[in-house]
Structure 1
Amino acid sequence: VLLEVSRDTVRDAISALVDAGFIDVRRGRYGGAFVVNPVPSAVRGELRTAHSIATPHTSPADVRDILVLREVLEVGAASHAAAHDLSATDREKLWSAFNDTKVATTEDYRRLDSRLHLLIAELSGSPSLLTQVAACRMRVNELLDDIPLLPPNIAHSTQQHERIVLAILTGDQPRATEEMRAHLAGSAALLRGFLG
């Protein structure tokens, strides 16, 4: 199955899984990425809980549906935010929201991540788009709550957020579009990997 994600995204995902203890990478003739057996006990219970929560409520079709909707809405929001003439106050709010995600604790990260994404939608200048992104974000957060939040993923998201925010602040609409699409593709690959 082709997931339409870049090699960089796959490398980042594998690196995060190695760091979390799920995968062992071996080099050489018979090398590759291998699932660790058994799964580390520290995460076994967390996975069992996530699987039991996600399985009855979330089919692969549901996951795909929300991810397609998210891509359409949030890529469009980033594009329009970059095209929009931002006030000094808006620019400060955007940079501040990004910085908040950068220094967030694991407990606060998802809330601050959502706030940043919603602010980007708000800066598009379309109240209707903001409403749709907010509704979509609630569904996305339900999915994200069912998977472990790993520090390497947060670090990678922070790098992506910075590129998105800088593209918006410099009015680079094509780059804002491309960076948001890449960011969402990484999240989508992670969600599909855990939830199907």
Structure 2
Amino acid sequence: MQDGAEPQVGPAFGAVFRTVRGGNAFEETVERLLSAIKLGVVVPGERFPAERDLAARLGISRITLREAIRALQEAGYVEPRRGRGGGTFVTYVPPRPSREEALRVLHTLDGGLEDLFAFRRVLEVGAGVRLAETGLTSEQRQLLNTRLAEVEAAAVEDYRRHDTDFHLTIAELAGSASLSTTLADVRMRINELLNAMPMLARNLEHSNVQHRTIVEAILAQDPDATRAAIGEHLEGSEVLLRAFLGEPRP
């Protein structure tokens, strides 16, 4: 990624930078900006969209946005730069969390790990089956194949970001902004756990084979094959996470 570039507008971008609707605009704005950093929507060295554009997209005042950016700056996540080519740049490079840190994240989850897994399955399987049932336009088919190619070609350090974009693209193509937004939140919690695990080349190769099977089932408009392919893919990460975290299967 070229230093100083703005993030590409993809499904994760739209899911994170959506209109703020909560009662506390400042806190929700801080949460949105943090989500963008954690999901890799804006990676270290990139800058957030221009202040005017971002405030309009979030539906907040520029004063509120500046206050949120100042809070992130004080926490060491971003650095505002002035002058030509300036803006708000992400400076935070997240270290790989330890297993102990992942366990602390796990203990903050309402309903625990199995609730998170069940919710993700409902969202992702539902989105894929809907696509298989309704079919895709030629442009949508091209977009899905592009996201597949990107995750297959991703380097290890960029894999999680492209993997997230692949899954959110399926949700986005299902035609529900609410689904995309909710799944983005779920993926962020899942990624906080997955990021603590070492990424093995063999596991990534197997994951990419499953991604291709999912795409083929969706494009063939086969809901049953899509349901099975996504279920098998999600089961794989669930097994790995349970073993890593020492959580028994229910």
What TM-score results when the alignment is normalised by the length of structure 2? 0.57
Partner of 2:30: none
The equivalences for 1:130-169 within 5 A come to 130-169=180-219
Which blocks of at least 5 consecutive residues in structure 1 are unaligned? 1-45
- Once residues 215 and 113 of structure 2 are traced to their aligned partners in structure 1, the CA distance between those partners, rounded to angstroms, is 26
The equivalences for 1:1-150 within 5 A come to 50-59=98-107, 62-150=112-200
TM superposition shift of 1:191: 0.7
TM superposition shift of 1:169: 1.1
TM superposition shift of 1:170: 1.4
Q: Tell me which of the two structures has the higher relative contact order, counting C-alpha pairs closer than 8 angstroms and 6 or more residues apart.
A: 1
Identity of aligned residues (%): 41
Amino acid at match of 1:153: N
Amino acid at match of 1:58: L
Work out whether 1:173 is the aligned partner of 2:173: no
Which blocks of at least 5 consecutive residues in structure 2 are unaligned? 1-94
Q: What RMSD, in angstroms, separates the aligned Cα atoms of the two structures?
A: 1.8
CA contact (8 A) 2:105 2:193 kept: no
CA contact (8 A) 1:81 1:125 kept: no
Larger % of helix: which? 1
- Once residues 143 and 84 of structure 1 are traced to their aligned partners in structure 2, the CA distance between those partners, rounded to angstroms, is 33
- Per mean C-alpha deviation after superposition, the further-off stretch among 111-120 and 64-73 is 64-73
- Once residues 57 and 91 of structure 1 are traced to their aligned partners in structure 2, the CA distance between those partners, rounded to angstroms, is 36
Partner of 1:4: none
Paired residues, number: 150
- Once residues 56 and 87 of structure 1 are traced to their aligned partners in structure 2, the CA distance between those partners, rounded to angstroms, is 43
Q: Secondary structure at the match of 2:196?
A: coil
Structure 1: 4+ residue segments shifted above 4 A: none
- Per mean C-alpha deviation after superposition, the further-off stretch among 131-140 and 106-115 is 131-140
| Residues 1:56 and 1:135: Cα distance change in structure 2 (over 3 Å) | closer
- Per mean C-alpha deviation after superposition, the further-off stretch among 61-70 and 160-169 is 61-70
TM superposition shift of 1:93: 0.5
TM superposition shift of 1:56: 2.4
